């Protein structure tokens, strides 16, 4: 007689192969959403990531006497708020949606639908980020801490626009590898607590290490540019403000947003999505394709 072992499947984390199947199904659902819903949820995601960025900026303001690594760790843990809100509350984030490539690789989503989703979500994320930056600027929250928050915002933005093109691409690759791994880990989660605990370490790691996230930069750099436009504030903080010569709208787009976006796609779609599809879904999808289109398979 074989002894039956009870397994609480309702609570156990999903194994990687089931995570891959779930990721593929999520990609199908995301690519099939209406334009209006996709855009609305992507605006929310841009705002959520901006809230995480505001948290990280505020926490690290005036941290000159704190060891570099400790300050970066605090920034990373605080910034995790953004992806927690995206995943738990529900929103459409461009970098996380790079995993739709798993459904595309399995021929469950057409290329046009992937491009459509990524385009709508990217634009929506930009709108949400810029709107949040505008509201924050009007609130003058950057004057808090004796102007320390604003100085930190300027320092972050200036450092990001001072990167070389290929350096920004590489930092983008590393960043979205970790972001998509955080999303990937969430596919194994059964509870909200599981999801939060899955998100914090990878996100804290990418922020602490100084990697580049295109949606976060849609807030960080415009926020710095808005603070820079407050001539009276910059003059009052002249001794603490860094060199702002590279902090321009042109460099925001050409030297950061474009290369970081390219890197994010490589890191998320290729290094995470495509590899996990190859390992866990390739044979399954190839068999399914052959059964569905036997004539095409024989050609």
Does 192 fall in a domain? Answer: yes
* Cα–Cα distance for residue pair 118/103, rounded to 1 Å: 14
Does 139 fall in a domain? Answer: yes
- The greatest distance separating any two alpha carbons of the chain, rounded to the nearest whole angstrom, comes to 83
pLDDT tens, 214-258?
Answer: 999 999 999 999 999 999 999 999 999 999 999 999 999 999 999
The mean predicted confidence, pLDDT, of the chain is 93
Q: Which residues contact 228 (CB under 8 A, 6 or more apart)?
A: 154, 157, 234, 244, 247
Tokens of 102: 């798993």
pLDDT at 4: 44
Is the pLDDT reported for residue 285 higher than 90? no
Is the pLDDT reported for residue 182 higher than 80? yes
Query: Cα dist. 39→126, 128, 287 in Å?
Result: 11, 10, 35
Is the pLDDT reported for residue 3 higher than 90? no
pLDDT at 291: 56
pLDDT tens, 10-40?
Answer: 567 899 999 999 999 999 999 999 999 999 9
CATH of the domain at 133: 1.20.1080.10
Does 152 fall in a domain? Answer: yes
The domain total for the chain is: 1
Q: Which residues contact 104 (CB under 8 A, 6 or more apart)?
A: 27, 110, 111, 114
* Domain extent at residue 58: 16-285
Does 294 fall in a domain? Answer: no
Does 11 fall in a domain? Answer: no
| Mean pLDDT score, 264-275 | 98
* Cα–Cα distance for residue pair 32/5, rounded to 1 Å: 39
Does 39 fall in a domain? Answer: yes
Does 7 fall in a domain? Answer: no
The pLDDT > 90 percentage for the chain reads 88
- Long-range contact pairs involving 281-285 (C-beta distance under 8 Å, separation at least 24): 281/20, 281/21, 281/24, 281/102, 281/105, 281/106, 282/105, 284/106, 285/105, 285/106, 285/107, 285/108
Does 92 fall in a domain? Answer: yes
pLDDT at 8: 45
Is the pLDDT reported for residue 290 higher than 60? no
Is the pLDDT reported for residue 293 higher than 60? no
Is the pLDDT reported for residue 85 higher than 80? yes
**Residue 296 banded pLDDT, cuts 50, 70, 90:** very low
| Mean pLDDT score, 77-92 | 98
């Amino acid at each position: 007689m074989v002894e039956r072992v009870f397994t609480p499947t309702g609570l156990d984390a999903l194994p990687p192969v089931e995570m891959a199947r779930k990721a593929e199904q999520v990609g199908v659902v995301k690519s099939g959403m209406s334009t209006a819903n996709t855009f609305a949820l992507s605006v929310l995601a841009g705002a959520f990531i901006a809230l995480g960025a505001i948290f990280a900026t505020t926490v690290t303001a005036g941290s000159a006497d704190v060891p570099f690594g400790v300050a970066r760790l605090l920034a990373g843990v605080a910034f995790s708020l953004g992806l927690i809100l995206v995943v738990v509350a529900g929103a459409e984030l461009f970098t996380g949606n790079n995993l739709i490539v798993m459904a595309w690789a399995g021929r469950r989503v057409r290329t046009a639908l992937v491009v459509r989703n990524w385009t709508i979500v990217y634009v929506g994320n930009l709108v949400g980020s810029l709107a949040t930056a505008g509201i924050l600027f009007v609130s003058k929250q950057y004057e808090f801490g004796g102007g320390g928050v604003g100085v930190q915002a300027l320092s972050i933005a200036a450092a990001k626009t001072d990167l070389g093109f290929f350096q920004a691409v590489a930092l983008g690759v590393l960043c979205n590898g970790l972001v998509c791994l955080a999303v990937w880990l969430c596919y194994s989660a059964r509870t909200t607590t599981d999801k939060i605990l899955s998100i914090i370490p990878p996100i804290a790691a990418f922020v602490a290490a100084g990697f580049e996230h295109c949606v976060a930069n849609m807030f960080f750099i415009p926020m710095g540019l808005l603070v820079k436009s407050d001539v009276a504030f910059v003059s009052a903080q002249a001794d603490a403000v860094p060199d702002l010569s590279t902090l321009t709208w042109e460099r925001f787009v050409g030297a950061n947003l474009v290369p970081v976006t390219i890197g994010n796609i490589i890191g998320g779609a290729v290094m995470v999505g495509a590899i996990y599809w190859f390992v866990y879904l390739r044979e399954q999808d190839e068999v399914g394709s052959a059964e569905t289109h036997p004539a095409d398979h024989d050609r």
